[in-house]
Amino acid sequence: MTGVARYTALKVGRALFVVWAAFTVTFVLLFVLPADPVDLLFDPAELNAIPPEVKEQVAANYGFNEPVILQYLNRLGHALTGDFGSSVQSGKPVTGAILEVLPSTLVLASAALVLATLIAFGIALAATATRRTWLRDLLESLPSGAVSVPVFLSGILVLQVFSFQLGWFPAFGDQGWRSLVLPLITLAIPVAGPIAQLLVRSFTTEFAAGYVTTGWAKGGTRGGIIVRDVLRNASLPALTIAGVTFGNLIAGSVITETVFARRGLGRMTQTAINTLDVPLVAGIVVLVAATFAVINLIVDLIYPLLDPRLRASLTAGVAP
């Protein structure tokens, strides 16, 4: 097997493992650890009023009276075909319910990632390009500021200013692109923080590298050196963190979608947890894990394309 094929197989294998592990952990947490998983299916307030026969009946329906290992294999088998059972609340199939809201969240999360990356690059480039120390210090302090602002606070703030006072964008809903703007900004700002921090640091490190001196000696200008030489080297580490951040974005969408009353995976998660909709929660967790795994797989596969050294070590058959 060639190095490239082995690398790809390794990364794909890792992605599959992550999804499987998420499924298994979710199964243990939701179906094995609770003393009686049937209890989770009912409203706690009414739990004592439910006759035992009914519970029996429900347990049999869900297969809770079978041995754990059989339940696990059964659910795993179904999950492989994309079947996570039915939502307790709505009775609709979990997969269908998730797929219905998924696009809206994916659009929000991807757009937020793009915006966050742009903000981060903007800060890092400006901080590197400027010759004024005070401006650089100011720019470099922005990321930690962005990280420290909680999403619900910045969300409400943004709503207050741009929607209620200025009336530029609708306060909530999911109709048209205008409704996307405020949630997008709210979600992107805290995520831009860590990416920008990393980028500022790697831009600073790379700007002190030997090839930058060579660039100056060639008669290069500051802007030219940053764009031609520093940018690509400094971006490599940010790629990894951007992949990891995508997970945070999906988590962040729980609050954002609640604040802005948008339909989406985040809000569905919140409802599912509030109503103890166990199959739906399980389905969402596995799906988020799968999304996460795919994004990171893409990042891993893009890496060798951007870094010729990694490409060389792959074709030479040496483990990276």
Partner 1 sequence: MTESLLEITDLAVDYRTGRRTWTPAVDGVSLHVDPGEFVSLVGESGSGKTTLIQGALGLLPVAARIRSGTVAYSGVDVTGFNDRRMALVRGTYVGFVPQDPNTSLNPVRRVGAQVQEAVPEKKREAALESLRLAGLEDVERVFRSYPHELSGGMKQRALIAIALAGQPKIIVADEPTSALDVTVQKRILDHLVSLRETLGIGILLVTHDLGVAQDRSDRILVMNKGRIVDEDHEYTRRLFAANPARQPAREPRPAGGRVVLRATGLTKEYGTLRALDGVDLAVREGTTHAVVGESGAGKSTLAGILAGFAKPGAGTVHVGDRELTGLNRKQLREVRRDLQYVFQNPFTSLDPRFTVRRLIAEPLRAYQLPAGDRVTELLAAVSLDESFLDRLPAQLSGGQRQRVAIARALALRPKILVLDEAVSALDVSVQDQILKLLTRLQDERGLSYVFVTHDLGVVRLVADDVTVMKDGAVVENGPAACVLRDPEHDYTRHLLDAIPGVKL
229 touches partner 1 (CB under 8 A): yes
Q: What residues from 155 to 214 belong to the interface with partner 1 (CB under 8 A)?
A: 209-211, 213-214
Residue 44: CB minimum distance to partner 1, A:
53
Residue 124: CB minimum distance to partner 1, A:
17
DSSP three-state, residue 38: helix
Q: Pick from 35, 134, 218, 274 the residue near partner 1 by CB under 8 A.
A: 218
Q: Which residues of 107-129 are buried (b: 16+ CB within 10 A; e: fewer)?
A: ebbebbbebbbebbbebbbebbb
CA 169 and chain centroid, separation? 25
233 touches partner 1 (CB under 8 A): yes
Q: What Cα–Cα distance (Å) separates residue 110 from each residue in 106, 126, 161, 248?
A: 6, 24, 25, 12
Q: 74 vs 214, which CB is nearer to partner 1?
A: 214
232 touches partner 1 (CB under 8 A): yes
Q: Pick from 93, 122, 220, 237 the residue near partner 1 by CB under 8 A.
A: 220
78 touches partner 1 (CB under 8 A): no
Q: Which two tokens stand for residue 154?
A: 């910045």
The packing angle between helices 3-27 and 278-306, to 10°, is: 160
Residue 317: CB minimum distance to partner 1, A:
6
The footprint of partner 1 on this chain (CB under 8 A) covers a number of residues equal to: 27
Distance CA 200, CA 204 (A): 6
130 touches partner 1 (CB under 8 A): no
8 A C-beta contact, residue 98 and residue 281: no
305 touches partner 1 (CB under 8 A): no
Burial of residue 36 (number of CB atoms within 10 Å: 0-12, 13-18, 19+)? exposed
52 touches partner 1 (CB under 8 A): no
Distance CA 86, CA 94 (A): 5
65 touches partner 1 (CB under 8 A): no
221 touches partner 1 (CB under 8 A): yes
8 A C-beta contact, residue 107 and residue 266: no
Residue 209: CB minimum distance to partner 1, A:
6
Residue 130: CB minimum distance to partner 1, A:
12
Q: 91 vs 219, which CB is nearer to partner 1?
A: 219
Residue 231: CB minimum distance to partner 1, A:
10
217 touches partner 1 (CB under 8 A): yes
How does DSSP classify residue 261?
T
Residue 5: CB minimum distance to partner 1, A:
16
Burial of residue 175 (number of CB atoms within 10 Å: 0-12, 13-18, 19+)? exposed
Kindly indicate which of the ranges 141-149, 152-160, 286-294, 305-313 contains the residues binding partner 1, using the contact rule CB under 8 A. 305-313
8 A C-beta contact, residue 98 and residue 283: yes
309 touches partner 1 (CB under 8 A): yes
Q: 49 vs 131, which CB is nearer to partner 1?
A: 131
Of the candidates 208, 207, 193, the residue with the CA atom closest to the CA atom of residue 238: 193
Residue 318: CB minimum distance to partner 1, A:
6
Residue 4: CB minimum distance to partner 1, A:
16
Q: Which two tokens stand for residue 160?
A: 């207050």
Of the candidates 109, 108, 82, 110, the residue with the CA atom closest to the CA atom of residue 97: 82
CB atoms within 10 A of CB 146: 23
Interacting residues with partner 1 (CB under 8 A): 133, 209-211, 213-222, 228-229, 232-233, 236, 306-309, 312, 316-318
